[in-house]
Amino acid sequence: MTSASLLVQILTGLAGASTLFLTGAGLSLIFGVTRVVNFAHGSLFMVGAYLGWTAGEWLRALLPGSAAGFWLATLLATLGVAALGALLETLILRRIYRAPELFQLLATFAVALVLRDGCLWLWGAEDLLGPRVPGLTGALSVLGVPFPRYDAALIVIGPAVLGLMHLLLTRTHFGVLIRAATQDREMVSALGVIESRLFTSVFAIGAGLAGLAGALQLPREPANLGLDLPAISDAFVVVVIGGLGSLPGAFLAALLISLVKAGCVALGTVELGGYSFAFPRLTLVAEFIVMAIVLVVRPYGLMGRPEGALRGPAASPIRPEPETPRSRALWGLAIAALALLPWIASASPYTTVALVDVFCFALFAMSLFFIMGPGGMHSFGHAAYFGLGAYGAAIVLKATGWSMMWGLLIGPLAGFVGALIFGWFSVRLSGVYLAMLTLAFGQIVWSIIYQWDAVTGGSNGLTGLWPAGWLSTRYPGVTPNAAYYLLTLACVGSAVLVLRRVLDAPFGLAVRAGRDSPLRAESIGINVHRIQWMAFCVAGTAAGLAGVLYAFSKGSIAPDLVHVGRSIDGLVMVLLGGVESLAGPLIGAAAFTLLQDSAGRSFDYWRAATGAAMLVVVLAFPQGLAGLARSIRGRAKA
């Protein structure tokens, strides 16, 4: 690599840093003032790209060949997304500012689903190729190496926007209010500032920045329906590395990530002591590795402050309903009915197939609930343990040829080991920072699985994972997968029972104490970090078991098992069911899996439907489905 091409790599990195910064800055601003982690931020970026495309097409006809058309389209897209942000804030977010932060996450995630299908409906599934910007086509020559002119323009735009934002925040009254509200929004309101107006404007500005980033990205990348997830995860990473609420921090973080990525590409494949390592492969996870390192060294990001940590309303107390003879009888009856199902439903074989999925995800959701509800730790990378269980068992069994029953030990063990390592780091953080560190670990596991072709099969995954012998025999008079179904039921049933017992035991009480009041828990001799770490391990083990059961029911596994989308599915299941009761995750997992299963096959817009349903649940029943059931029962009793 010559120094000229290294320079070009760095410049390309800087160009990428600009859009990264814009997206992150918007998210940071919104979080700072409203304390809402806006999961729909990546969708706003995507909408910005689409709006930029439409406005661009339209203006190109009006002003052919003029660069003004592109910049005007970018401006229109920015304003359009800002307006969309204001609308979302007034219609939805305003109602949930006082709700627990998990509900805000769920609501904004639902918005993301709706926006994604909105784009599908308006713009179709085809990628829309962006325009070439008149006057910025072609390349400059940097020491003889070509460098796209448009990228050069981007390098200027990022710092320019940072400068403008800085002026807005320091030189205007509105900016002073934003900075004040970032520290203490209640006090700002008590001084007579109309909170709702301030929040709407801040949301609009943040959304507008995301829209701007999306529209600016258009000449480099076509508008498509896959833009939202990477954009949101990038934005999270930038904001967390930089420190929540800090714009200079976000800028620094964007630079750091982009330069590390450029560095990885520049290094190429390096031979070291006989091993060769392809650094460019690291670009997929570079940002997560950087984030993990930064969070371990500086738990509040590069320029964040401890008081910037989440100071949300105290988590609602989770008091597991005591076991009564009636509830025990109900559980017993439900399990008995499920156990008889292969005989009852022998005419419709799909039932037990679908239910195996439901069971696996119920255990997955339950294990996530275990650290999220009673533990108060929001894991955004829980799929890692599910995937480690599935891949760990699959790899060992394929290599050794052992029976699948060993997998039931190896899977949980793999999940346990993963949680042992990641949990140790994660429990040192809290709130959004903890969530992001778990996300980083999840992405790291994903990228290893995705890229380690020799062992994990890479993007193709592993196939031929069938349970042997009696488990796959077809017996007369029952559904075809009856044996496997019953095995899953038995494993999941006992695991859930164990988790429940653990929560009622002193250990469970200590976990809850650590959530509700870490200081007091410490003062009565509870080692909060150790307890939380152990909770992580328990959850990882259970998720690992769910992973093996799932893998061998499908016969094949692929990296999407570990993808961040799967972690989010888990969060949605838990939140949908409600974090306040133990039945919640089970009900949520069943509802979500069945809904996705049936809607996904018959209806193009199932995401929007799911999102809308989630919004209704969040806005109308902030206790989740299980809470809804409880309040109906309560009313019936009254």
Which residues sit at the interface with another protein, rule CB under 8 A? 98, 173, 176-177, 179-180, 182-184, 186-195, 314
User: By C-alpha distance, which of 496, 359, 494, 377 is closest to 433?
Assistant: 377
Q: What share of the chain is helix, strand, coil (3-state, %, to 5)?
A: 75, 5, 20
| CA angle 533–536–541, rounded 5-degree value | 130
Closest contact distance (angstroms) between CB of 174 and another protein is 11
DSSP 8-state assignment for residue 63? S
**CA distance readout (Å), 494 to 298, 358, 407:** 40, 15, 17
Residue 142's CB is within 10 A of a number of other CB atoms, namely 15
188 vs 390, beta carbon nearer another protein: 188
**181-190: long-range contacts, CB 8 A cutoff, minimum separation 24:** 181/32, 181/33, 182/32, 182/33, 182/245, 183/307, 185/33, 185/34, 185/35
Closest contact distance (angstroms) between CB of 245 and another protein is 10
Closest contact distance (angstroms) between CB of 623 and another protein is 15
**CA distance readout (Å), 327 to 318, 331, 332, 373, 591:** 18, 6, 8, 21, 21
CA dist., res. 357 & res. 481, Å (int): 12
Closest contact distance (angstroms) between CB of 179 and another protein is 6
188 vs 259, beta carbon nearer another protein: 188
DSSP 8-state assignment for residue 460? G
Closest contact distance (angstroms) between CB of 182 and another protein is 8
User: By C-alpha distance, which of 560, 539, 561, 541 is closest to 550?
Assistant: 561
185 vs 378, beta carbon nearer another protein: 185
181 vs 558, beta carbon nearer another protein: 181
180 vs 599, beta carbon nearer another protein: 180
29 vs 462, beta carbon nearer another protein: 29
The number of CA neighbours under 13 Å toward the Cβ of 258 is 24
Closest contact distance (angstroms) between CB of 166 and another protein is 14
Residue 406 CB-density burial (10 A; 0-12 exposed, 13-18 middle, 19+ buried): middle
Tokens 């100071």, residue located: 311
314 vs 336, beta carbon nearer another protein: 314
User: By C-alpha distance, which of 179, 295, 307 is closest to 240?
Assistant: 295
CA dist., res. 247 & res. 209, Å (int): 12
Closest contact distance (angstroms) between CB of 532 and another protein is 24
Closest contact distance (angstroms) between CB of 195 and another protein is 6
195 vs 560, beta carbon nearer another protein: 195
How would you write 536-581 as a 3-class SS string?
Answer: HHHHHHHHHHHHHHHHHHHCCECHHHHCHHHHHHHHHHHHHHCCCC
Query: 587: Cβ–Cβ under 8 A, 6 or more apart, which residues?
Result: 576, 577, 625, 626, 629
- State the DSSP H helix or E strand holding residue 347, giving kind and residue range, or none if neither: none
Closest contact distance (angstroms) between CB of 191 and another protein is 5
179 vs 529, beta carbon nearer another protein: 179
Under 8 Å between Cβ of 242 and 301: yes
Name the β-bridge partners of 223.
128
Closest contact distance (angstroms) between CB of 170 and another protein is 9
74 vs 246, beta carbon nearer another protein: 246
190 vs 490, beta carbon nearer another protein: 190
Closest contact distance (angstroms) between CB of 168 and another protein is 14
Closest contact distance (angstroms) between CB of 580 and another protein is 14
Coil, helix or strand for 133?
coil
242 vs 342, beta carbon nearer another protein: 242
